[in-house]
Structure 1
């Protein structure tokens, strides 16, 4: 059914282009090593930094990736429509190679500034990757296998999470002299992507609905699937082309002003907000610090961080099967409810340990964090897929741009603000914003997110309209009764 070229295309993209969180997570277990290097570097310049100043520099090094990612996300629409999905990924791979090289050179050149610049460039790569990779994978795959293709991306992301934390351990490549190897590693698979992907097909959807080239479309489909599957895939594309005028130049602002697109936009943005307010950005960036707060020794804390990353990866792998069997909506509800319960337990256990000195509470906090990773891993692919599934092709790149920009803006805010916020309110209270938003998001998903499994965009649009109309009618009916009872 699928051709050899299809598998090469998928493997090339997920290995070379899905390490979007490697750069974000690699810094976690290397925190002690990097702060020591920063202190030595500034001291050699005659600049003595206080602990508070070093913490601020550290927070900027952690969060500057998200600054680049915001710019990368905002570039998703123009890049994907001008260069195409495949060529956009190749262009993006070049950013990865350059950023990784700069990170590698930061220590030999004794320059924290070069490290920051390299991380910002890699951030641009991450922002583009967040939109381009799932878009390309889902557009080269027939509708009934679309969810599995999109999930493969997040499985690769989960793999890069724990792999980055493995390489960055002081016992591996996170030592005083070897950490540049761990930081520069993403450039290797990105270079391979730049070499292999030019020989892979473009997205058939891009060829037909954006370039209006039927010959190129048929050629792309023929290189991806067999004749039977290719015929169905082409008919689906023709149907989608008939239902939309893709010659129209759709701006990002149009999604905010169009009545029929407003609710789908709210849904895809909110599920992304929900994903970020699960606290994942803070946990992946500062989990070692969290384990230290729970009373673990530094080495055990680092290996515990690696352990929870492996758990996240294993449960993300299970989502490849579950996402087509159970659907997106069910897994999203499971993720958000599990995360809400786990964060609540973590808050209670850390509070008990801090104020009542209950040593066993630290083990409860660790168990809650493990449960968190199980729930988060199962539902982690869904928000990155929703925009590509609920919007027709002509709106898709704009919707993905908005959703990914919101995601990385929140990653920046959360990763920059979490440590100061934790110092202000205490460890246990620092989880409260995540708990509140996750609980609200669970209700939102239950009432408004439709099931998108094996559905075309017009079917999904009808489901969204039905749900929003039902809620509107219910609100109109209940408000007068509330007013009369108050009267």
Structure 2
């Protein structure tokens, strides 16, 4: 393992900040449909009435709105299937630029839906935007991890989640009625993600491609060295890192199929880790609260529920920044374990509070605190780490497939939760949070037993651990750096 620390250069920081503009767009369209939900539902109803001369049935309106919210996540699930092909064919940086076009097209469709009197355009626009989400939320961590030095890799990967959370908060703010969430301006609100999309087109072409991709995937050592010099600013660092890449290349096969990925023995344990961590993260209750917090607070008779929703967004951003600051100090493993255990406790508390809320209305303040604590528990560990841990656990040939797998799990979980949470809430009531608690406890248990610490370790060092071991439990180790 290399203990050499690399400095942060202007080129490195610019490359990462420009890349995460994509995450900002995704967060924005996650948060901006919450507060103006009633106004957009009225647009659906008005459009239906103008066509059929009657109001849309309540059950149809509920279904159509649930579909509108969840279709983005379904599109992202489909988009995940293209991650490997894009990343390996066009490179990490250029793939981000190419898929950015999906964001532009999807946003334009959403913006045009009001003028065209077509709620179908809004739904299709969110579907197209969803394709962008599924691709870029894998391509971003992949690019960031491969251009970052080992000592800053986790912190920089967390910036992807920081910008995602910031986008959610911005979406929530512009979505309230006092800003752009009005009957006249909601279409303009949906169009604002075009700004970071265009900025990314202007700046990202001047950022270097992933040196790891150039050397290991393309065998272009001179271009890899040139990219590294721009990113590191030191010839000594470039030589050391190139040697590490060559050592990793010597231990990996040149190409890998999806079938080989899922059948290769040394990949079985990291695949299970990625599966459990991601499902535990996405089915922990966070996405239900992000999508339906305004309605949840309305149900508890808060006069200004939309402003409490802004509090959710602010807590979300605050604790992604906490995760950013702690990632290279506490490590991935400790933050995941802390986050999952706190999520389990928060969901149990939410069950108890919601069960007695109708008897003791004064407990609604505790409900708000429970929501805030759940958001903070998610963002301090499971939220950001679930998106990039696969990039650290797999070697270069397997990394794009692993990130596609991560994206499918994340967006698949979001889609199912967005679609099923309203009927589950009606069916189970407050006890729906016990399902989330169970998932968090399963993820905690598996992480405790199987996940090694990846902080400060080279990709080859982590991959070698899985090559030389078949997943011996970790409970007999104090440092949790190896399986043996």
Q: TM-score, normalised by structure 2?
A: 0.93
- Equivalent residue for 2:100, pick from 75, 89, 93: 93
Question: Structure 1: 5+ residue runs without aligned partners?
Answer: 474-487
For 2:23 and 2:285, locate their aligned partners in 1 and report how far apart those are by CA, in whole Å: 24
Q: TM-score, normalised by structure 1?
A: 0.92
Instruction: Check if 1:341 corresponds to 2:349.
Output: no
Deviations 1:55-108 (A, max 9, x none): 000000000001110111111110010011011000111111111111111111
Deviation at 1:449, TM superposition (A): 1.2
For 2:469 and 2:8, locate their aligned partners in 1 and report how far apart those are by CA, in whole Å: 36
Instruction: Check if 1:230 corresponds to 2:238.
Output: yes
Q: Is the Cα–Cα contact under 8 Å of residues 167 and 182 in structure 1 kept in the other structure?
A: yes
- Equivalent residue for 2:10, pick from 4, 18, 22: 4
- Equivalent residue for 2:388, pick from 373, 385, 390: 385
- Matched residues, number: 466
Q: Is the Cα–Cα contact under 8 Å of residues 70 and 124 in structure 1 kept in the other structure?
A: yes
Deviation at 1:29, TM superposition (A): 1.1
- Equivalent residue for 1:35, pick from 26, 37, 41: 41
Deviations 1:116-149 (A, max 9, x none): 1110111011111110001111111111111111
Q: Report the 3-state secondary structure (helix = DSSP H, G, I; strand = E; otherwise coil) of the residue aligned with 1:451.
A: coil
For 1:407 and 1:151, locate their aligned partners in 2 and report how far apart those are by CA, in whole Å: 16
Deviation at 1:8, TM superposition (A): 2.1
Counterpart mapping for 1:187-198 below 5 A: 187-198=194-205
Deviations 1:283-316 (A, max 9, x none): 111111111122212xx11110111111110111
- Equivalent residue for 1:415, pick from 415, 418, 422: 418
For 2:473 and 2:110, locate their aligned partners in 1 and report how far apart those are by CA, in whole Å: 52
Q: Is the Cα–Cα contact under 8 Å of residues 23 and 163 in structure 2 kept in the other structure?
A: no
For 1:124 and 1:61, locate their aligned partners in 2 and report how far apart those are by CA, in whole Å: 14
For 2:24 and 2:175, locate their aligned partners in 1 and report how far apart those are by CA, in whole Å: 18
Deviation at 1:7, TM superposition (A): 2.3
Q: Which residue of 1 aligns with 2:172?
A: 165
Q: Which residue of 2 aligns with 1:323?
A: 327
For 1:292 and 1:67, locate their aligned partners in 2 and report how far apart those are by CA, in whole Å: 27
Q: Which residue of 1 aligns with 2:256?
A: 250
Q: Which residue of 2 aligns with 1:453?
A: 455
- Equivalent residue for 2:437, pick from 423, 435, 438: 435
Deviation at 1:48, TM superposition (A): 2.4
For 1:393 and 1:210, locate their aligned partners in 2 and report how far apart those are by CA, in whole Å: 8
Instruction: Check if 1:64 corresponds to 2:71.
Output: yes
Q: Is the Cα–Cα contact under 8 Å of residues 21 and 126 in structure 1 kept in the other structure?
A: no
Instruction: Check if 1:81 corresponds to 2:83.
Output: no
Q: Is the Cα–Cα contact under 8 Å of residues 94 and 191 in structure 1 kept in the other structure?
A: no
For 2:456 and 2:97, locate their aligned partners in 1 and report how far apart those are by CA, in whole Å: 30
Deviation at 1:216, TM superposition (A): 0.9
Deviation at 1:442, TM superposition (A): 1.0
Question: Structure 2: 5+ residue runs without aligned partners?
Answer: 1-6, 477-484
Q: Is the Cα–Cα contact under 8 Å of residues 61 and 116 in structure 1 kept in the other structure?
A: yes
For 1:418 and 1:95, locate their aligned partners in 2 and report how far apart those are by CA, in whole Å: 28
Q: Which residue of 2 aligns with 1:401?
A: 404
For 1:22 and 1:275, locate their aligned partners in 2 and report how far apart those are by CA, in whole Å: 20
Q: Which residue of 2 aligns with 1:365?
A: 367
Q: Which residue of 2 aligns with 1:20?
A: 26
Deviation at 1:466, TM superposition (A): 5.4
Q: Which residue of 2 aligns with 1:478?
A: none
Deviation at 1:469, TM superposition (A): 2.4
Q: Is the Cα–Cα contact under 8 Å of residues 151 and 320 in structure 1 kept in the other structure?
A: yes
